[in-house]
Structure formats: structure tokens, C-alpha cells
Structure 1
Amino acid sequence: MQARQLPTPRGWAWLQEGFRLWWRNPALLSFLAFAYLLVLIIVSLFPFIGQPIASLLMPVLSLGVLNGCRAIDQGRKVGPDVLFSGFKSNVQSLVTVGGIYLVASLLVLVLTSLVDRGALLEAMTSGRMDEQTASSPNVLFSLLVALALSTPVMMAYWFAPLLAGWWGLTAPKAMFFSFHACLRNWRPFLAYALALMLFGALIPGLIVGVLGLISPTLATLVSVPLPLILIPVVFASFYCNARDVFDVPVNDVPKG
């Protein structure tokens, strides 16, 4: 296991390769992507304990989605139950990754309280933000601070589930090597982020907007299936950048 250092153009290719992977088995990948989101949403609805449990489960379910992508990529047949295959692979480390990510994310929100007196933290925890709060300069600045502080947290999490699940690393090691891999490939990841904004948001929004000027009904018909395609394609692109940065193992994931 060694993180490759990739050229910048590789970041542009990940979304396209994700679409190709999705096209090989759209039914399974679509199911995995939306089932992953649905499970986390349902779990998070439970009062008090829902959000923490969802955070702990997130790496386990993420590994299940990646296992499905890997099976499709390698031409193996798997069923929808692959979503829960992460529970068979180093669960302790995966849950610990989720716990560290949760604590780090909460710490970022707490630190933003120094900027906006807790407005962003209250909005995130309550799920509500009024118009006056959203337009406040302090809140806008705290959003920038949160983005800057959460970037290294996301870098440490990005590859951590597969490093813990496929190579059996402990949570601290998995998050360290994930951060190192992202830092080493910051240029292709920047290109990848731009590709996501361009092809995942700006161009689809422009197309729907133009169609809306021609026919609102046509715009609605186009806008409905777009998320059904884009969301699983983005999930598949996560696997594609992992495959590019690391050598994806062929054998079954380690047990633990």
C-alpha cells in the first residue's frame, strides 16, 4: 500500500470514470448510493443518539459502497447486501474513524464560535438558520473559517474507510495515510473539485434553466432524473480516485 503522486489532469478524469463504472451496473450502484444515504438519514432521526450513531456508521457503510464499486470494477457479481459488507471488515477501526471524524467536526464548529458567537454552531445543531443570521458578515466569515478548518479533517477521512477495511489499518494510521495521500495529490483533487462543481452543478443547472425558458414541463422532466444519475456517479468517482491513488486489492477484505 503506497499512495501514488498523480498529475493534475487525473482529477478531471475521475468523474468521467465514475460514470463509466456506474454505466456497467447502474441498478446496483444507484441502490448502494441511495440506500447508504437513506440508512444514515433514518438513523440520524432518532433523538439525541441518532446523529452520533450515524457518524459512527458512516465509514462502515462507505466501505460497503466501495466494496460494491470494486466488485463491479473487477467483474464480480454481488448483491445489494454488499452495502453491509463493511461490518465484516475491521469494524472497530471503521467505527473509530467515524468517532474521530465526528469529534473533529464538532471541534471545528466550536472553533467557529469564536468568530460568530455560536451562530453557526446553533444553526448546524438545530437545522435552522433565519435570513438575518445567514446574511450576517460574522456567519459568512465563520463559514470560511469552517471550510478552512474542515478541509484537513476531510482529507484525513477521505481514504480512511478503505485503508482500515481493505488493509486492516488502525484508525489513527488510516487517517494519517489518508491525509498524506490527499496532501500529496492536492492538485488532482483540486481539479476533481472543479469538475464536480462544473459537471455536477453548474452545467446541469444551466441546462435545466435553458429548458425552463423553453418549456417548464420539459425542464421538470429533465431535472428529476439528473440527481438519480449524478449521485451514484459521484459515489463511483470516489472509488475511481481511490483506485488511482492506491493499488486496489483483488482478494477479499481483511477480517477483524
Structure 2
Amino acid sequence: MEKLPARAGWHWVKQGWMLFRKQPGGLMALLFVCMFASFFIMLLPGLGQILWCVLMPMFSIALLQGCAEIDHDRRAMPQLLLAGFRSPMRKHLLGVGGLNLALMLLALLAVYGLSGDAIKALGEAQSKGVLKPEDVEGLFGGMLTGSLIYMLGWMLTSLAAPLIFWQQMALNKALFFSVVSVLRSIKPFVSAVVILHLIYFVGVQIVILVLGVSQLGVAGIFTLFLISLVMVHCMLYAAYAQIFGPPSATPTTADFDKA
């Protein structure tokens, strides 16, 4: 695995955009299927949110496999949602989900550890119906730290799920190769994440400038957010393809025609 320059991140974003342009409707439909499944899972009493965190790699695999289908000039179909669940490596994918849950809990601990008093004060201010700017100032440090912890953890483990799914790697081996690959290519990964954030930020500003803070403007911002979610996976697919080579055709372990 050779070290890649920072500009490779820009190429990943461009390649991801080219994938998205080929079948925007198919990828967005697949995202909506994942969102509906997530919504119903989170409605489960008690363990819904925990189960959703654990199943996140399954939804990521659905979108990544959709990118692979497009890359092989095939249609990205909604039944790709089942790709991860049908894989013989699903236990290892769920292990990645468990790690994702641990990262979220660690990020939340950082938020409450650094901004616990501010969160309590904010709750009291909301209950009184009086909210002042200083009530939210104490949240920034904790929120920033928690976000950085989760973002760093996600970035280091982002290639684990596709390695498990496409190369049939065990969890420990996939995590090792994911962390090593990201660290060796940290510059393009950081540049790709920064570019995607900047594109989203500029897009939001344009929507607000044109439509204002109206219902239509909020709908436009939400649409940009959904497109950004898909673009993250398109970029991640491009990164995987350059580092490990493009995945082969649809895995034989998942028979999508019978879905």
C-alpha cells in the first residue's frame, strides 16, 4: 500500500460524484430504504437506538454495494439493503457495528464530561421558556470534542466493513488493515472529508441565500444533507477501489434476484 498525496482525496470526491451522476435516483432510493428501515428499528422500545447503531454497517454496505453495482454498469436496486444481512460475514459486520456503538458512547461521555453543567443549565432554561445565548456557549467544547472523537474513530474504521464484505476478512484483520490504510493515506482522507464538508456548507449557504429560512429552504437543506450522505459512501467506495482495487461483481453469497 503506497502513500497517497492529499490531492487523491479530491480525486475520490470527483470519482464519487461521477458514480452518483450515473444513477442518482437509484442511490437516493436505496438511501430512503435504509432510512425507513432505520426509522422502524428506532421505534422499537428500549433497544431500538442501540440496535440501530449496531446495524449501521449493514446500511453502509448497502450503499457501497450500490456504488459497486453502478461501477459495473448495473442498476442499484433497493433490495441491496439485504446485502450485508445475507453475507456469511454478517457476524463480523455486526462486530463493526458494536465498535460503532462504543465510539458513539465514548463521544457522548466526552460531551457530558466537558459540557454536563451546560447541558443541565440548558434544560432548566428550556423548562422555564427563557433561553439566552450564554446558555449554549458551554456546549461548544464538549460538542466539538465528541464530534472529533467520533469522526476520527469513524475515519480509522471506515474501510473495515467493505473489507469484511468484499474480501471476507475477519473482524480483527479488517480493522487492522483499515486503520493502517487510513493512517498511510491520512492526507487524502482528511482532504476528502474537508472538501465534502465545504461543499455541503457552501450549498447550505446558497439555499439560504436563495430561499431564506422558509419551509422550502429547510427542505432544500435536508435534501443537500441526504445527498451528502450518499456522496460520503461514493467517496469511500472510490477510496477503497484505489487502495485495495475495485471489488468484483456482486458477491455470490447474496442472491439479489430472489429478494
Q: Structure 2 stretches of 5 or more lacking a match?
A: 123-129, 255-259
Counterpart code for 2:136: S
Partner of 1:115: 114
Q: How far is 1:131 from its partner?
A: 5.2
Q: How far is 1:207 from its partner?
A: 2.2
Counterpart code for 2:41: V
1:179-229 per-residue CA deviation (whole Å, 9 max, x = no partner) reads 222111111112112211221222x1232243248xx89968966764564
Structure 1 residue matching 2:246: 3-state secondary structure = coil
1:146-225 equivalent positions in 2, closer than 5 A: 146-202=146-202, 204-212=203-211
State whether structure 2 residue 132 is matched by structure 1 residue 135: no
Going from structure 1 to structure 2, the CA distance change for 1:239 and 1:118 (only over 3 Å counts) comes to: farther
Partner of 1:239: 237
Going from structure 1 to structure 2, the CA distance change for 1:254 and 1:176 (only over 3 Å counts) comes to: farther
Going from structure 1 to structure 2, the CA distance change for 1:4 and 1:34 (only over 3 Å counts) comes to: farther
Partner of 2:22: 24
1:8-157 equivalent positions in 2, closer than 5 A: 8-77=6-75, 79-89=77-87, 90-117=89-116, 135-137=136-138, 139-157=139-157
Going from structure 1 to structure 2, the CA distance change for 1:254 and 1:171 (only over 3 Å counts) comes to: farther
For the residues of structure 1 that align with 2:225 and 2:141, how far apart are their CA atoms?
30
Q: Structure 1 stretches of 5 or more lacking a match?
A: 124-129
> How many residue pairs align between the two structures?
245
1:124-168 per-residue CA deviation (whole Å, 9 max, x = no partner) reads xxxxxx95686243x322223323433442133311110111111
Counterpart code for 2:86: K
Going from structure 1 to structure 2, the CA distance change for 1:115 and 1:13 (only over 3 Å counts) comes to: same
Q: Does the Cα contact within 8 Å between 2:31 and 2:63 map onto a contact in 1?
A: yes
Q: Does the Cα contact within 8 Å between 1:112 and 1:118 map onto a contact in 2?
A: no
Which deviates more, 42-51 or 148-157? 148-157
Q: How far is 1:254 from its partner?
A: 7.0
Q: Does the Cα contact within 8 Å between 2:182 and 2:189 map onto a contact in 1?
A: yes
For the residues of structure 2 that align with 1:135 and 1:165, how far apart are their CA atoms?
42
For the residues of structure 1 that align with 2:85 and 2:31, how far apart are their CA atoms?
17
1:225-252 per-residue CA deviation (whole Å, 9 max, x = no partner) reads 6456444334322222222222122144
For the residues of structure 2 that align with 1:175 and 1:119, how far apart are their CA atoms?
36
Q: How far is 1:13 from its partner?
A: 2.4
Q: Does the Cα contact within 8 Å between 1:109 and 1:120 map onto a contact in 2?
A: no
Q: Does the Cα contact within 8 Å between 2:200 and 2:225 map onto a contact in 1?
A: no
Partner of 1:127: none
Going from structure 1 to structure 2, the CA distance change for 1:148 and 1:194 (only over 3 Å counts) comes to: closer
Which deviates more, 101-110 or 218-227? 218-227
C-alpha RMSD of the superposition: 3.3
For the residues of structure 2 that align with 1:218 and 1:108, how far apart are their CA atoms?
33
Q: Does the Cα contact within 8 Å between 2:54 and 2:98 map onto a contact in 1?
A: yes
Q: Does the Cα contact within 8 Å between 1:4 and 1:246 map onto a contact in 2?
A: no
TM-score for both structures, normalised by structure 2: 0.79
Structure 2 residue matching 1:205: 3-state secondary structure = helix
The percentage of aligned residue pairs carrying the same residue is 27
Structure 2 residue matching 1:38: 3-state secondary structure = helix
Q: Does the Cα contact within 8 Å between 1:4 and 1:181 map onto a contact in 2?
A: no
For the residues of structure 2 that align with 1:170 and 1:119, how far apart are their CA atoms?
42
For the residues of structure 2 that align with 1:248 and 1:13, how far apart are their CA atoms?
15
Going from structure 1 to structure 2, the CA distance change for 1:131 and 1:21 (only over 3 Å counts) comes to: farther
1:96-126 per-residue CA deviation (whole Å, 9 max, x = no partner) reads 11012212321332244433347669x9xxx
